[in-house]
Amino acid sequence: MTAARGRTGRPPLTEERKAEVRLEIARAAVGLFIAQGVAATTGEQIGQAVGVSARTVWRYFPTKESCVRPLFSTGIDTVAAALRQWRPGRPLQEAFDHVWTADAGLPGLDIGALVRLTRTEPALRAVWLQTHDEAEPAFASALAERAGLPADDVRPALWAAMLNAALRAAVEHHAYRTTEPAAGPEAARADLAATLRTALAVTAAGLT
Protein backbone atom coordinates (compact mmCIF):
# COMPACT_ATOMS: atom_id res chain seq x y z
CA MET A 1 0.00 0.00 0.00
CA THR A 2 1.36 3.36 -0.97
CA ALA A 3 1.41 5.97 1.77
CA ALA A 4 -0.78 8.99 1.21
CA ARG A 5 1.22 11.84 -0.22
CA GLY A 6 1.26 14.93 1.97
CA ARG A 7 0.96 18.47 0.77
CA THR A 8 4.15 20.10 -0.35
CA GLY A 9 5.18 23.72 -0.30
CA ARG A 10 4.74 26.38 2.33
CA PRO A 11 1.80 26.11 4.74
CA PRO A 12 -1.04 28.60 4.25
CA LEU A 13 -0.80 31.86 6.13
CA THR A 14 -2.91 32.33 9.23
CA GLU A 15 -5.42 35.18 9.31
CA GLU A 16 -3.20 36.96 11.83
CA ARG A 17 -0.20 36.72 9.53
CA LYS A 18 -2.28 37.88 6.57
CA ALA A 19 -3.27 40.97 8.56
CA GLU A 20 0.39 41.58 9.37
CA VAL A 21 1.36 41.32 5.70
CA ARG A 22 -1.42 43.73 4.73
CA LEU A 23 -0.15 46.24 7.30
CA GLU A 24 3.46 45.80 6.12
CA ILE A 25 2.37 46.46 2.54
CA ALA A 26 0.37 49.50 3.67
CA ARG A 27 3.31 51.02 5.52
CA ALA A 28 5.63 50.42 2.59
CA ALA A 29 3.16 51.97 0.17
CA VAL A 30 2.75 55.09 2.29
CA GLY A 31 6.51 55.49 2.62
CA LEU A 32 6.92 55.33 -1.15
CA PHE A 33 3.93 57.61 -1.80
CA ILE A 34 5.39 60.26 0.51
CA ALA A 35 8.93 59.90 -0.83
CA GLN A 36 8.27 59.86 -4.56
CA GLY A 37 4.57 60.44 -5.16
CA VAL A 38 1.73 58.09 -5.94
CA ALA A 39 2.08 58.24 -9.73
CA ALA A 40 5.75 57.25 -9.61
CA THR A 41 5.15 54.30 -7.27
CA THR A 42 4.58 50.83 -8.72
CA GLY A 43 3.29 47.60 -7.28
CA GLU A 44 6.71 46.08 -7.88
CA GLN A 45 8.35 48.76 -5.73
CA ILE A 46 5.84 48.25 -2.94
CA GLY A 47 6.44 44.51 -3.02
CA GLN A 48 10.21 44.93 -3.01
CA ALA A 49 10.01 47.17 0.05
CA VAL A 50 8.22 44.39 1.92
CA GLY A 51 10.07 41.44 0.41
CA VAL A 52 7.14 40.04 -1.56
CA SER A 53 6.23 39.92 -5.22
CA ALA A 54 3.98 42.40 -6.99
CA ARG A 55 1.59 39.47 -7.49
CA THR A 56 1.31 39.15 -3.72
CA VAL A 57 0.59 42.87 -3.40
CA TRP A 58 -2.27 42.56 -5.91
CA ARG A 59 -3.57 39.49 -4.12
CA TYR A 60 -4.20 41.66 -1.07
CA PHE A 61 -5.17 44.93 -2.74
CA PRO A 62 -6.88 45.72 -6.08
CA THR A 63 -4.98 49.00 -6.63
CA LYS A 64 -1.85 50.63 -5.26
CA GLU A 65 -3.93 53.39 -3.66
CA SER A 66 -6.04 50.85 -1.78
CA CYS A 67 -2.86 49.59 -0.09
CA VAL A 68 -3.24 52.36 2.51
CA ARG A 69 -6.63 51.11 3.65
CA PRO A 70 -5.35 49.10 6.66
CA LEU A 71 -3.78 52.24 8.11
CA PHE A 72 -7.08 54.08 7.90
CA SER A 73 -9.19 51.16 9.10
CA THR A 74 -6.94 50.43 12.09
CA GLY A 75 -7.78 53.81 13.56
CA ILE A 76 -11.47 53.31 12.81
CA ASP A 77 -11.44 49.89 14.48
CA THR A 78 -9.79 51.41 17.55
CA VAL A 79 -12.56 54.02 17.81
CA ALA A 80 -15.28 51.36 17.48
CA ALA A 81 -13.62 49.29 20.23
CA ALA A 82 -13.44 52.34 22.51
CA LEU A 83 -17.14 53.03 21.97
CA ARG A 84 -18.02 49.45 22.90
CA GLN A 85 -16.13 49.91 26.18
CA TRP A 86 -17.64 53.33 26.94
CA ARG A 87 -19.55 52.86 30.18
CA PRO A 88 -22.94 54.51 30.69
CA GLY A 89 -22.74 57.63 32.78
CA ARG A 90 -19.05 58.18 32.06
CA PRO A 91 -17.63 61.06 29.94
CA LEU A 92 -16.96 60.26 26.30
CA GLN A 93 -13.40 61.55 26.68
CA GLU A 94 -12.69 58.87 29.26
CA ALA A 95 -13.41 56.10 26.76
CA PHE A 96 -10.66 57.40 24.49
CA ASP A 97 -7.91 58.19 27.00
CA HIS A 98 -6.09 54.94 26.24
CA VAL A 99 -6.41 55.55 22.49
CA TRP A 100 -4.38 58.75 22.61
CA THR A 101 -1.62 57.22 24.73
CA ALA A 102 -1.44 54.13 22.49
CA ASP A 103 -1.24 56.24 19.33
CA ALA A 104 -4.32 54.46 17.93
CA GLY A 105 -2.31 51.31 17.34
CA LEU A 106 -0.04 52.99 14.80
CA PRO A 107 3.26 53.76 16.57
CA GLY A 108 5.74 55.67 14.47
CA LEU A 109 3.28 56.55 11.71
CA ASP A 110 2.75 60.16 10.73
CA ILE A 111 -0.96 59.89 9.94
CA GLY A 112 -0.95 63.57 9.00
CA ALA A 113 1.43 62.95 6.09
CA LEU A 114 -0.83 60.21 4.79
CA VAL A 115 -4.01 62.24 5.10
CA ARG A 116 -2.34 65.21 3.41
CA LEU A 117 -1.84 63.02 0.36
CA THR A 118 -5.61 62.51 0.14
CA ARG A 119 -6.00 66.21 -0.55
CA THR A 120 -4.24 65.96 -3.92
CA GLU A 121 -4.72 62.30 -4.81
CA PRO A 122 -8.38 61.55 -5.70
CA ALA A 123 -7.92 57.77 -5.49
CA LEU A 124 -6.49 58.02 -1.99
CA ARG A 125 -9.27 60.43 -1.05
CA ALA A 126 -11.82 57.86 -2.18
CA VAL A 127 -10.23 55.21 0.07
CA TRP A 128 -10.20 57.64 3.02
CA LEU A 129 -13.87 58.58 2.61
CA GLN A 130 -15.00 55.02 1.95
CA THR A 131 -13.29 53.82 5.10
CA HIS A 132 -15.16 56.42 7.15
CA ASP A 133 -18.43 55.63 5.38
CA GLU A 134 -18.08 51.95 6.24
CA ALA A 135 -17.20 52.83 9.84
CA GLU A 136 -20.57 54.35 10.69
CA PRO A 137 -22.48 51.06 11.06
CA ALA A 138 -19.83 49.83 13.52
CA PHE A 139 -20.06 53.08 15.48
CA ALA A 140 -23.86 52.95 15.43
CA SER A 141 -23.92 49.35 16.63
CA ALA A 142 -21.63 50.15 19.57
CA LEU A 143 -23.65 53.22 20.52
CA ALA A 144 -26.96 51.35 20.25
CA GLU A 145 -25.65 48.59 22.49
CA ARG A 146 -24.47 51.11 25.06
CA ALA A 147 -27.81 52.93 25.07
CA GLY A 148 -29.86 49.74 25.10
CA LEU A 149 -31.58 50.67 21.85
CA PRO A 150 -32.65 48.35 19.03
CA ALA A 151 -30.50 48.16 15.93
CA ASP A 152 -33.15 49.88 13.79
CA ASP A 153 -33.43 52.96 16.06
CA VAL A 154 -32.39 56.08 14.16
CA ARG A 155 -30.66 57.76 17.11
CA PRO A 156 -27.50 55.60 17.16
CA ALA A 157 -27.15 56.14 13.41
CA LEU A 158 -27.33 59.90 13.92
CA TRP A 159 -24.87 59.79 16.81
CA ALA A 160 -22.50 57.69 14.73
CA ALA A 161 -22.70 60.14 11.84
CA MET A 162 -21.94 63.05 14.18
CA LEU A 163 -18.96 61.30 15.73
CA ASN A 164 -17.65 60.06 12.41
CA ALA A 165 -17.80 63.51 10.83
CA ALA A 166 -16.16 65.11 13.86
CA LEU A 167 -13.27 62.64 13.93
CA ARG A 168 -12.66 62.91 10.19
CA ALA A 169 -12.73 66.70 10.32
CA ALA A 170 -10.34 66.70 13.27
CA VAL A 171 -7.80 64.44 11.56
CA GLU A 172 -7.98 66.49 8.36
CA HIS A 173 -7.62 69.74 10.31
CA HIS A 174 -4.52 68.36 11.99
CA ALA A 175 -3.07 67.06 8.73
CA TYR A 176 -3.69 70.11 6.58
CA ARG A 177 -2.19 72.60 9.01
CA THR A 178 0.73 70.41 10.13
CA THR A 179 2.70 70.61 6.92
CA GLU A 180 6.16 70.79 8.45
CA PRO A 181 7.38 67.58 10.16
CA ALA A 182 10.37 69.34 11.76
CA ALA A 183 8.79 69.17 15.21
CA GLY A 184 9.06 65.39 15.05
CA PRO A 185 6.58 62.50 15.27
CA GLU A 186 5.96 62.85 19.01
CA ALA A 187 4.89 66.47 18.63
CA ALA A 188 2.71 65.56 15.64
CA ARG A 189 0.97 62.79 17.58
CA ALA A 190 0.44 65.10 20.54
CA ASP A 191 -1.15 67.70 18.26
CA LEU A 192 -3.38 65.05 16.68
CA ALA A 193 -4.47 63.82 20.11
CA ALA A 194 -5.31 67.36 21.24
CA THR A 195 -7.31 68.00 18.08
CA LEU A 196 -9.25 64.75 18.50
CA ARG A 197 -10.01 65.61 22.13
CA THR A 198 -11.45 68.91 20.95
CA ALA A 199 -13.61 67.09 18.42
CA LEU A 200 -14.93 64.77 21.12
CA ALA A 201 -15.67 67.66 23.44
CA VAL A 202 -17.65 69.44 20.73
CA THR A 203 -19.77 66.37 19.95
CA ALA A 204 -20.07 64.83 23.41
CA ALA A 205 -23.27 66.70 24.34
CA GLY A 206 -25.15 65.03 21.52
CA LEU A 207 -23.87 61.56 22.40
CA THR A 208 -24.80 61.36 26.07
Q: What is the pLDDT of residue 157?
A: 94
Give me the phi and psi of 174, to 5 degrees please: -60, -45
The span from the first CA to the last CA of the chain, in angstroms, equals 71
Q: CB count, 10 Å around CB of 194?
A: 13
d(CA 198, CA 138) in angstroms, rounded, equals 22
* 130: region left, alpha or beta (phi > 0 left; psi from -120 to 50 alpha): alpha
**What pLDDT was estimated at residue 192?**
81
- How do the pLDDT tens digits run along the chain, 208 residues long? 444 455 555 567 788 888 899 999 999 999 999 999 999 999 999 999 999 999 999 999 999 999 999 988 888 888 888 898 888 888 888 888 777 655 544 444 567 888 999 999 999 999 999 999 999 999 999 999 888 999 889 999 999 999 999 999 998 998 888 655 556 667 777 788 888 888 888 888 766 5
State how far the Cα of 143 lies from the Cα of 83, in Å rounded to an integer.
7
Q: What is the pLDDT of residue 14?
A: 86
d(CA 104, CA 147): 25
3-state secondary structure of 160: helix
pLDDT attached to residue 49: 96
| pTM for this prediction | 0.81
The dihedrals phi and psi of 85, each to the nearest 5 degrees, come to -95, 0
